[in-house]
Amino acid sequence: RALDMYGVAVSNAYMYLFSSEFDPIRNPYDPQFRGACDLYNESLESTLRLVNATGQLHPGRSYKVTAGQQTYEVATVVRGNWHNEDFEHFEFVSDFKLDGLPSSGLTYGLGVPLIAVRKKGDPNDPRETYYPDGLSFPVTALLRVVRPDARPGIGAKHRHHCVLELHDPLASSDLPLAGRLVPLQSDLSTSLAYFLDSPQFRQKDSATQGLLNPQKTDAHRGIYMLEPFDPTRIPVVMVHGLWSSPVTWMPMFNDLRSFSELRKNYQFWFYQYPTGQPFWLSSTQMREDLARLRQSLDPQHRFLALDQTVLVGHSMGGLVSRMQTIDSRDEFWKILSDEPFDKLQGDPQDITKLREAAFFNANRDIRRVVTIGTPHRGSDYANDFTQWLGRKVIKLPAMMVSTGQNLVKKNPGVFQNADLLINNTSIDSLNPHSPVFPAMLRAPRAPWVTYHNIVGLIPNRKWFGGEEQATDDGVVTYDSAHMDDAVSEVIVPAEHQNIHRNPKAILEVRRILLEHLEDVRDEYRMAQRQNAPQVATSNPPKAQLTDNPTPAKLTSAPGSRAMQFELSK
């Protein structure tokens, strides 16, 4: 009975909002109009709750509601980049109250914001590798009601053909309805928090384990996507730093995708790696992972948007990112030995691993790099004590250690910095006296890459009041974080672990992405004028241009069930 009454309320509200017979009296500035919108949204949510409770709320299914002489036949369809088979179950956004993550993804209009939990897909689909288990995403449910048709016969019921549309608000924020453009009511933040709170995500997200036991977390290494892969949008790959994980990017990610021009033109990916190992090894692995992704999703290199990839790296993640854009030549091999590499003796697999780490070329897919609080010349925190402590508590991957030991043993007198191969932890690799940093600075940079830099500085307090000139962010000095080749550099008043979550830093990344988009469009327009058959750019523009985080909790709204959302412990 309740379902019937809610169905009638939704239908009547819809008719008032969109039926042509009410055009003469309908006034969108009248409080009654807003009341009709609220009635539509609230009645639709109540209807969906009842339908969901019976297990009938699934894309592709149809159901029937009867109220008096009215019959409502409802077909459920998906609008957007997800497909029917991607949905496992739904939760209602209004059941949760979000704390600790800015609710920057709220829009008001018609529809019911939902949390859709993704069902695992075909393991043979190459995209499946990049979707994390337990992924949830935002959905807005909207019901279209067609005017009733009376069946022939005495006492015949009026039949309404209805379509329940499940919209992806990341793909579109409004839709045409009855000759008008209607904004969708949506919530992008709560579905993200729901995913971060899921057991599947918590199992993989262990910043401490990634630092102390890199080998144990290596299975979780790789690129992760939180929305469907889109060959027409430019990837932004976010790379976390030491003692951190992709969770550290969620405030920035949540904020950036609230801007429609960014979410229409960019897709955000996250790179996770064990941070206990030296950053140059993580750089080698990221190089392999990026190449593997391109080969699996675009073996013919037809998706030109992937040629415009942007990397955003925080702290040590900035070093990992920057190393994707330089040519090694023999700079890194010279650190290890003065002997020709071809004379090296040992197991072919060990030699191959060392060759991949010491000799590499810049990735041609990467066009822009943003480094945030990055120790380009090392950090004084990587001193004798912290290096000693790191070697005591960090368990390096057995494969890395054995490879180095085997090569050193079979090539006596060849290696002059054997520690780099055997017992170098991430903390060792960040020592300002490490020979890797001068080699990075000497190595040729890819001429097609544009660099941007964001530096954190915190004032030094004096004993008797006042402040001294800021020289560091608490971990990295300005002299180490500064880079002369950056086309832009912004100073952010934030401590090292919070620079990338600072509003000023987020706005700067937004500005950089808009600038990159404009440059891509200029490149496209120039190629069009030259009648070039192919250009290394994305499709024509779709939008017009005008660590360890603080614990956050997602608690229940009054009268709703509770959900704890803690970003870190």
Total count of residues recorded for the chain: 569
Alpha-helix residue ranges (DSSP H) falling in 111-196: 189-196
Tokens 């689909």 correspond to what residue? 125
Query: pLDDT tens digit string along 468-523?
Result: 688 999 999 999 999 999 999 999 999 999 999 999 999 999 999 999 999 999 98
User: What pLDDT does residue 199 have?
Assistant: 80
Same domain, 291 and 335: yes
Inside any domain, residue 563: no
Inside any domain, residue 16: yes
User: What pLDDT does residue 33 have?
Assistant: 94
Alpha-helix residue ranges (DSSP H) falling in 148-278: 189-196, 199-204, 207-212, 214-217, 250-256, 260-265
d(CA 245, CA 497): 12
Inside any domain, residue 567: no
Q: Which of 191, 225, 255 is the last residue of a domain?
A: 191
d(CA 359, CA 349): 15
Q: Which of 191, 214, 243 is the last residue of a domain?
A: 191
User: What pLDDT does residue 538 have?
Assistant: 45
Same domain, 249 and 185: no
Same domain, 167 and 209: no
Inside any domain, residue 90: yes
State whether residue 521 is helix, strand or coil: helix
Q: What is the largest CA-CA distance in the chain?
A: 102
d(CA 566, CA 554): 8
Same domain, 349 and 390: yes
First to last CA, the chain: 47
Please, which residues have CB within 8 angstroms of residue 99's CB and are 6 or more apart in sequence?
A: 552, 553, 554, 555, 565
Same domain, 173 and 70: yes
Inside any domain, residue 491: yes
Q: Which residues of the chain have pLDDT under 50?
A: 150-156, 208, 212, 385, 388-394, 396, 536-569
The structural domain count of the chain equals 2
Residues 241 and 318: beta-carbon distance below 8 Å: yes
d(CA 321, CA 329): 18
Query: Residue 20: which domain range?
Result: 2-191
User: What pLDDT does residue 257 have?
Assistant: 94
d(CA 190, CA 98): 7
Q: Which of 191, 225, 246 is the last residue of a domain?
A: 191
Nearest in space to 395 (alpha carbons), one of 218, 247, 204: 218
Same domain, 458 and 396: yes
Same domain, 286 and 403: yes
Same domain, 88 and 30: yes
Residue 460 backbone dihedrals phi, psi, to 5 degrees: -90, 120
Residues 296 and 222: beta-carbon distance below 8 Å: no
With residues binned 3-state (H G I as helix, E B as strand, rest as coil), the percentages for the chain, rounded to 5, are 40, 20, 40
CATH no. for residue 245?
A: 3.40.50.1820
Residues 368 and 418: beta-carbon distance below 8 Å: no
User: What pLDDT does residue 99 have?
Assistant: 76
Letter for the amino acid at 133?
D
User: What's the whole-model pTM score?
Assistant: 0.86
Same domain, 350 and 290: yes
Inside any domain, residue 568: no
Letter for the amino acid at 288?
E
Inside any domain, residue 108: yes
Count CA atoms closer than 13 A to 17's CA, side-chain side. 27
Q: What is the mean pLDDT of the chain?
A: 86
Same domain, 161 and 216: no
Inside any domain, residue 196: no
- Beta strands (DSSP E) in 119-255 are 136-145, 149-150, 158-167, 174-177, 180-183, 186-187, 222-225, 234-239
Same domain, 235 and 145: no
Same domain, 214 and 284: yes
CB neighbour class for 47 (10 Å; exposed up to 12, middle 13-18, buried from 19): buried
